[in-house]
Amino acid sequence: MTAPTTIVYKTVGDVEIPFDLYLPKDAKNVPVLLWFHGGGLLQSKRTNVSPHMVKAVDKYKIAVISADYRLAPQVGVADIFEDVQDCITFIRHPDGLLKYIDSTAIDAQRMAVCGSSAGGYLAFLAGLYVEPKPKVILPIYPITDPLGTFFTTSQPHPLGGGRTDHATVESFLDPNGEVVTSNEKNSDREQMYFYMMQEANLAELLRIKPGDDTYRIAKQIYRRRLPPAYCIHGDADRAVGVEQCDEVVGIMYGLNMDVKYERLHGLDHLFDRDAAFELERMYEYMMKHV
């Protein structure tokens, strides 16, 4: 694998939105795995790629693209999903990504969309609303419903910490504040997710109004359908309740959709940051469908 290449896929005003492209050596018509990071759509950045995904580039001969997107609450989920759609269009379109790389390196029509936590939520939204649909989606401990019980009930700090002080995140809560696409690890913005959990206000921060089911995955599956999906969630997850994934997978099973579910006993959020996890069955499922 060569070092990743950073490419700006979209500019909104003076805000550039980049992704990192990881290619295997001598790439020739390889499929694309597009991954979105977590953080509640409120924080984090594209460089938080788990070891298994970096290894997968050469192991499975795939292109991995890790994309940033604008962060809430300075924009809403509709704007963020617009970034997702524009990112996929950029990758697929002959005048997009292929202008920056050897035109035979990737086969952009063979696309999987993956994401962790809030990124898994974006993968589900891509599966619902992007046309043509991705060949397969791979949500990892995904958020599926910002209006679900987990996110409308105050939750304890998932790492055992105390309450997050409002003053710590006050500047990041301003909906009219500076629009950003990422933050550094040492930024106080890294406290936004913990603050959201204690305040139980994810839907509000994402500008989702009560009664609007557009961004509630389970509510849209019957009408919009989903491509084949491989879902992974630990049943000890303290940052996204496993029932979020259970609900969506249950509906997919009930509708006889192509879905596989690794519901992992005793594992918490971010378990796959450990290099011991390679998620082979997920990648095998992906390769079967792309």
Note the pLDDT of residue 88.
98
Mean of all residue pLDDT scores within the chain: 97
Residue 109, helix vs strand vs coil? strand
Determine how β-strand 106-116 pairs with β-strand 30-36. parallel
The verdict on whether omega for the bond into residue 94 sits within 30 degrees of 0, i.e. cis, is no
Note the pLDDT of residue 160.
87
* pLDDT at position 131 over 70: yes
12-55: pLDDT as tens digits: 999 999 999 999 999 999 999 999 999 999 999 999 999 999 99
Note the pLDDT of residue 161.
86
User: Looking at residues 59-67, what average pLDDT do you find?
Assistant: 98
User: Looking at residues 66-94, what average pLDDT do you find?
Assistant: 98
User: Looking at residues 69-79, what average pLDDT do you find?
Assistant: 98
Note the pLDDT of residue 257.
98
The answer for residues whose C-beta is within 8 angstroms of residue 199's C-beta and 6 or more apart is: 154
233-278: pLDDT as tens digits: 999 999 999 999 999 999 999 999 999 999 999 999 999 999 999 9
* pLDDT at position 1 over 70: no
**Residues 205 and 73 sit within 8 Å (Cβ to Cβ):** yes
* DSSP for 164-204, written as a single string: PPHHHHHHHH-TTS---S---TTSGGGGHHHHHHHHT-HHH
**Residues 47 and 66 sit within 8 Å (Cβ to Cβ):** yes
Domains of the chain, first to last: 5-289 (3.40.50.1820)
